[in-house]
Amino acid sequence: MIHTEICDLLGIEYPIFQGGMAWVSDASLAGAVSNAGGLGIIAGMNSNGEQLREQIRKIREITNKPYGVNVMLMSPYADEVAQVVVEEKVPVVVTGAGLPSKYIKTWVENGLKVVPVVPSVAIARMCERMGACAVVAEGGESGGHVGDLTTMALTPQVVDAVKIPVLAAGGIGDGRGVAAALMLGAKGVQVGTRFLVATECTIHENYKQRVLKAKDIDTIVTGRRLGHPVRGLKSPVTRRMQDLEYSADFTAEEFEKMGVGAMRKAAREGDEQNGSFMCGQIAGLVNKEQPAAEIIREMFAQAEELLKGAAQWVR
């Protein structure tokens, strides 16, 4: 059994977070992950306050284990979502795409555990000073909004820079990734792409099929020039976005709006022409739909074998 201080800190059995993916991570997926002993996370990004409250009530019907809500700090609803997590006494708040400076004091005072996702050492340090109880170091292999560093380079540097526990994210899809993350000094992992094909994940079947068929080189990052790089599967939309990104009369706001609409079209409608299918670089090893509990069990059984077996190379 792999047990780290993240398990004790948050009251979970396996040190794994399921990424709070916009238009993907609802109460169904998050509830299944929490029931399986990981930390299921509901995405706050695509919800206003009341829609999020509904998802929180739903997850409480599915599980009585700890769960989290992801507050996407660039969301137009960030203020209301930040308030609802307090009112609903959400056990863990994971933040993304910015610094949680505006909200973290209130969250901590109200007993919520705050775990920001960070793309650099400097931001990890700031989050620790503000009162975060852990951070997720997310490398650019991940799907969605990405930082510049790789998971391999970022994780050990963040581990050395802060005293709070660090989870690694980006490019982790099986037990080999979990074992590697632990060797880099992480106390757990956050996994997104692998859970896109969980049985309990409610995204459109077309999305699941695209992820199941994707190979290592099938993702691309758009939006770098405009400051919000996002990784997803290559598609008609990403080709259009690449052209627009470099056209002079297209603003960052228009680009962003187009991106968010396209994420919904992918996840909810499976629209192959107009959808933006967020996905990480690990897609090539995601090739089986299975229940979240099985994904987690297999991942940690494999990691455990690898970690035990590693001693054979030491003379």
- Name the site residues for ligand TUI (rule: CB under 6 A): 22, 45, 72, 96-99, 117-119, 123, 138, 144-145, 147, 228, 230, 256, 259-260, 278
Contact 145, 43 (CB under 8 A): no
CB of 5 to ligand TUI, least distance (A): 22
Q: Considering the complex, state which of residue 44 and residue 175 has its C-beta at the smaller distance from ligand TUI.
A: 44
Element (H, E) at 115: strand 113-118
Rg value, the chain, Cα: 18
State both tokens at 176.
Answer: 């080999």
Q: Considering the complex, state which of residue 65 and residue 145 has its C-beta at the smaller distance from ligand TUI.
A: 145
CB of 148 to ligand TUI, least distance (A): 10
Q: Considering the complex, state which of residue 40 and residue 147 has its C-beta at the smaller distance from ligand TUI.
A: 147
Q: Considering the complex, state which of residue 168 and residue 230 has its C-beta at the smaller distance from ligand TUI.
A: 230
Q: Considering the complex, state which of residue 12 and residue 123 has its C-beta at the smaller distance from ligand TUI.
A: 123
CB of 81 to ligand TUI, least distance (A): 13
Query: What is the spatial distance between Cα 307 and Cα 183, in angstroms, rounded to a whole number?
Result: 9
Tell me the residue type at 238.
T
Say if strands 67-72 and 230-233 run parallel, antiparallel, or are unpaired. unpaired
**Count of other CB atoms within 10 angstroms of residue 86:** 16
Tell me the residue type at 70.
N
Query: What is the spatial distance between Cα 253 and Cα 311, in angstroms, rounded to a whole number?
Result: 52
HSE value, Cβ hemisphere, 13 Å, CA-based, for 16:
33
List the Cα angle 252/255/257 in 5-degree steps. Answer: 110
Q: Considering the complex, state which of residue 27 and residue 94 has its C-beta at the smaller distance from ligand TUI.
A: 94
CB of 135 to ligand TUI, least distance (A): 10
- The residue number with the shortest CB distance to ligand TUI is 144
Residues in the chain: 315
Say if strands 230-233 and 144-145 run parallel, antiparallel, or are unpaired. antiparallel
CB of 118 to ligand TUI, least distance (A): 6
CB of 23 to ligand TUI, least distance (A): 9
